[in-house]
Structure 1
Amino acid sequence: MVEAICKEIELQDDYLNGAIIESIYFGGGTPSLLEENQLKTILKTIDRHHSISSEAEITFEANPDDISPSRLRMLFQNGINRLSVGIQTFDDEVLKWMNRAHNSREAFQSLEWIKQSEFNNFSLDLIYGIPIATHKSWEKDLKTLVGFEPPHISSYCLTIEPNTVFGRWQQKGKLNEASEDYASEQFYILTEFLRKFQYEHYEVSNFAKEGFHSKHNSSYWQQKPYLGLGPSAHSYDGKNRQFNISNNGKYLNALKTNEIPAELDILTTEDRINEYLMTSLRTAKGCNLLYLKNTLNYDLLRNAKPQIEQWKNSGLCILEDDILKLTLRGRLLADKLASDLFLVN
């Protein structure tokens, strides 16, 4: 797999048109399986085929049970300068219910090791809206988390997808998803709690201390081109998308014959407008109406004025200096509100 990924880097070396790389992210699977020589090989291959900024953010995704002092030293010595750790909760009962591999003791130990390591940039993930959790346990999780002073926090509402363990439980009546009101209350607890600790709520699910916004996540929301590598990876060149085949065997076989295992998704102007609306309205920076007008030739205010006025009157958004921003209440409904503005192809 590492050989195939390196071959893909080689074959795709012109995809970003010579842009300087500002972010590299090892995630979307189990990158902790990588051995040191494999990690070095991938990074050296990227360096051979691309110009990497000296200020690049290089993130490695890990679970608490993946972390040890020696592992942290190895990652840091090989250029990783940011960690993203899936804590999810410190409650053992909830961790067991979620079928997580780690327990609370391992979560605490991993964070102690990170605090003692050379990493000063790390992000911790928490999940809210868990049916068997309470507001009290959610507040306890938040208090515990900020005690470790993470520069960045990501927090997502539990969603139950079809064809997953939770999805099958739900179909059999073994699991009831948390109500929207319950999840909303936990979202408000989250935002108010982190505000008191000076975390900027810069995207619906992301919070950061000053200077620690995720470059990687921000590039998606700002419509910057990116190259995804490996099975199921998605890429965006600024105009169109492509997505790699998800089957590992077919991915490996394609690259053995120097074939890029990707399908092209040609975006229409309507697609690009819809994607910008979806991503920008989730952020604190909001939706720039001049960008829509000048870059995509779309006048949002002219085409959706009644909708926007209704949002303003309902306290869901503000419009200032050609920037449309959702209020906290609006951000809770960000995806739904954005979809109300979507253009139909």
Structure 2
Amino acid sequence: MSGIYIHIPFCKQACHYCDFHFSTSMKKKEDMITAICNEIQLRRNELEANTTIQTIYFGGGTPSVLSIPELNTILDQVYKHYKVINNVEITIEANPDDLTEEKIIELSKSKVNRLSIGIQSFFEEDLTLMNRAHNAQEALQCLSLATKKFDNISIDLIYGIPDMTVERWKKNIEIALSFGVPHISCYALTVEPNTALPKLIEKGEIAPVDDELAQEHFKILIATLDQYGFDHYELSNFGKPDFYSQNNTAYWQGKHYIGIGPSAHSYNGKQRSWNINNNSKYIKALQQNIIPRDIEGLSTTDRYNEYVMTGLRTQWGVSIIRIEKEFGTKYKKYLLKQAQKHLEEHLLFLDGDTLLVTKKGKFLSDGIASDLFLLNLG
């Protein structure tokens, strides 16, 4: 089975921390939808025969700026050109200010069956610092409405925000849990170079990000959600049983997917490709039936590194047997050699043939993975 990711590159305003591809101008929205539909059609033969679509994911940007008819136009093209399973997971990322009662009711009547809501914080000061388009009241209101119409809801929260006390972070988690949502994604605020955040920190308008505070927030998050029956199945993702994100799980487990829209990435096991991250050039190319993308062939080492990176972030870990079977004995020996110091420091542990990150090592998992990467194997 495979998945389709559809990038909707529009936002009402720019969040200070976001480095994803988007535009705050909606002028090209109609042309963009036409181009996206054309790319869906042009790429219909990329998947192997009889491959079915298990997940459809609208990301961005802010996909909830689209109307229901616009969403349906895109979905109709997917169903027309691909084999979609009956119980497909269809997710749309949404901002609280877009989720009016009318919009939620319309979405509940569409093919969309999962909402991923970008709450980020339930506190006004945090939302203002991040330059979010919604306010705290809209965050609460949209969840009150959405939980009446959707069972499968995920919300995003951000921790490590400057001046966010431990008490405020605990309150954020408490409020999220009070709505009974079955999935929560949490991310540390990071300072990306091509965003407004580093400039605001440099000017002294926002305090620097405190890594120690973020780590403390992370520990509180893990302990709290564990008490409420959430599985910490990936570094930033917590789900109740049967409510893991199928889309994201497929990505972490190395399944194939097609990325549609400007800046979207695709993966077929042997190659990775990415579309141009320019709306005008993307639209112009698709008007000529050209897919504006770059393609990179993945070497054995590339695939090994990617498996280590994604595996260590998840509860499934890295299989030593799979490493030897897919990549060879040299890779297995290298992995175990590099892992030794982390095993001794109790950041990693072996469960049978599976290499996993300990609770102590979870916050450091990306750095640990980089120590296990291979740059060249002669």
- Normalising TM by the smaller chain, what interval? over 0.9
Tell me what 2:77 maps to: 45
1-structure distance, mates of 2:286, 2:332: 47
Aligned to 2:260, the other structure's residue is in SS state: coil
Superposed displacement of residue 173, structure 1: 4.1
Deviates more, 1:310-319 or 1:168-177: 168-177
Structure 1 runs (4+) deviating above 6 angstroms are none
Superposed displacement of residue 180, structure 1: 2.0
Tell me what 2:120 maps to: 88
2-structure distance, mates of 1:90, 1:177: 21
2-structure distance, mates of 1:305, 1:84: 38
Aligned to 1:227, the other structure's residue is in SS state: strand
Unaligned runs of 5+ in 1: none
Tell me what 1:136 maps to: 167
Residue 155 (structure 1) aligned to one of 161, 176, 186: 186
Tell me what 2:57 maps to: 25
Q: Deviations over 1:189-234 (max 9, x none)?
A: 0000101101010011000011101000101100111001111111
Aligned residues of 2:56 and 2:90 also touching (Cα < 8 A): yes
Residue 244 (structure 1) aligned to one of 275, 292, 310: 275
Aligned to 2:60, the other structure's residue is in SS state: coil
Deviates more, 1:303-312 or 1:288-297: 303-312
2-structure distance, mates of 1:35, 1:180: 39
2-structure distance, mates of 1:275, 1:304: 13
Matched residue type, 2:345:
S
Matched residue type, 2:97:
D
The TM-score normalised by the length of structure 1 is 0.97
Aligned residues of 1:289 and 1:299 also touching (Cα < 8 A): no
Confirm whether residue 69 of structure 1 aligns to residue 107 of structure 2.
no
2-structure distance, mates of 1:298, 1:214: 33
Confirm whether residue 189 of structure 1 aligns to residue 226 of structure 2.
no
Tell me what 1:3 maps to: 34
1-structure distance, mates of 2:331, 2:301: 12
Residue 169 (structure 1) aligned to one of 193, 197, 200: 200
Aligned residues of 1:88 and 1:126 also touching (Cα < 8 A): yes
2-structure distance, mates of 1:179, 1:44: 46
- More relative contact order in 1 or in 2 (CA 8 Å, sep 6+)? 2
Tell me what 1:235 maps to: 266
Tell me what 2:209 maps to: 178
Q: Deviations over 1:211-270 (max 9, x none)?
A: 101000101100111001111111001111100001111101111111111111111111
Aligned residues of 2:147 and 2:181 also touching (Cα < 8 A): no
Superposed displacement of residue 26, structure 1: 0.7
Paired residue total: 344
Unaligned runs of 5+ in 2: 1-31
Matched residue type, 2:71:
L
Aligned residues of 2:275 and 2:292 also touching (Cα < 8 A): yes
Residue 308 (structure 1) aligned to one of 312, 317, 339: 339
